[in-house]
């Protein structure tokens, strides 16, 4: 949990361990203040950000109870990831489902995102959505936005997970992820998959991430 950064935890995240022991441990950590119990069987672990400890929004908690994968996007994603303290009037989410989940009737929902996101955590999906919108909802200066994303991507195999999921994302997402991965010194065999998926004649708008040291190598405009 300490390595995972800000994220939700459920009993199903501890497969192979006795369910009663997991339930007892999660309850104890909530009593001690390490976790927040935000719904039945759902806990939240906050992490420090430039604006203070991260917080679990009501919409994000509701999304944890749905079967179809749902990830925050827009300002909701920036808030979850610690890139902004602002909360939109209507939470905004993206899902691979073909229709809007009823539990999110009060939110803006973008449907038919790639099915490859099915196994990603809410934070992993929020990072992909942040790359989709070129980090334009970040309240941090570009240099700090880049540094914060690099910290998030360096957590426990996250870059490798997103590298696989990004194959179904728009080319600009793969290009920005590649530039971030090169900054993290990811293995070339990992970066090569992203690089090979890009049209060498195309150029991509990196938005707030245009200042990445390797942006031009990844075909930034």
Give the number of domains in the chain: 2
Q: What is the DSSP letter of 204?
A: B
Residue 161 sits at φ, ψ, to 5 deg, of -65, -45
Regarding whether 168 and 62 lie in a shared domain, the answer is yes
pLDDT at 47 over 90: no
Section 39-58 average pLDDT:
74
CA distances from 114 to 27, 129, 133, 165, 172 (A): 35, 11, 16, 8, 15
pTM above 0.75, yes or no: no
The tens digit of pLDDT for each residue in 140-190 reads: 999 999 999 999 999 878 999 999 999 999 999 999 999 999 999 999 999
Regarding whether 38 and 64 lie in a shared domain, the answer is no
Regarding whether 64 and 32 lie in a shared domain, the answer is no
Regarding whether 30 and 131 lie in a shared domain, the answer is no
Query: What is the rounded distance in angstroms from the CA atom of residue 185 to the CA atom of residue 45?
Result: 28
Regarding whether 134 and 35 lie in a shared domain, the answer is no
Q: Are 43 and 37 in contact (CB under 8 A)?
A: yes
What is the domain range of residue 197?
46-218
């Amino acid at each position: 949990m300490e390595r995972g950064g800000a994220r939700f935890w459920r009993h199903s995240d501890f497969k192979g361990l006795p369910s009663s022991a997991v339930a007892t441990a999660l309850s104890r950590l909530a009593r001690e203040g390490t976790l927040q119990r935000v719904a039945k069987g759902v806990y939240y672990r906050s992490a420090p950000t430039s604006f203070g400890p991260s917080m679990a929004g009501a919409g994000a908690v509701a999304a944890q109870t749905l079967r179809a994968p749902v990830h925050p996007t827009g300002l909701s994603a920036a808030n979850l990831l610690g890139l902004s303290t602002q909360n939109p009037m209507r939470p905004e989410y993206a899902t691979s489902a073909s229709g809007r989940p009823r539990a999110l009737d009060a939110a803006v929902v973008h449907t038919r995102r790639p099915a490859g996101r099915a196994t990603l955590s809410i934070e992993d999906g929020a990072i992909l959505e942040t790359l989709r919108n070129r980090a334009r909802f970040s309240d941090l200066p570009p240099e700090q936005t880049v540094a914060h994303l690099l910290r998030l991507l360096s957590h426990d195999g996250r870059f490798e997970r997103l590298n696989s999921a990004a194959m179904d994302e728009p080319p600009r997402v793969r290009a920005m992820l590649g530039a971030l991965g090169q900054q993290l010194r990811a293995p070339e065999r990992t970066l090569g998959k992203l690089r090979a998926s890009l049209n060498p004649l195309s150029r991509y708008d990196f938005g707030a991430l245009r200042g990445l040291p390797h942006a031009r190598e990844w075909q930034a405009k």
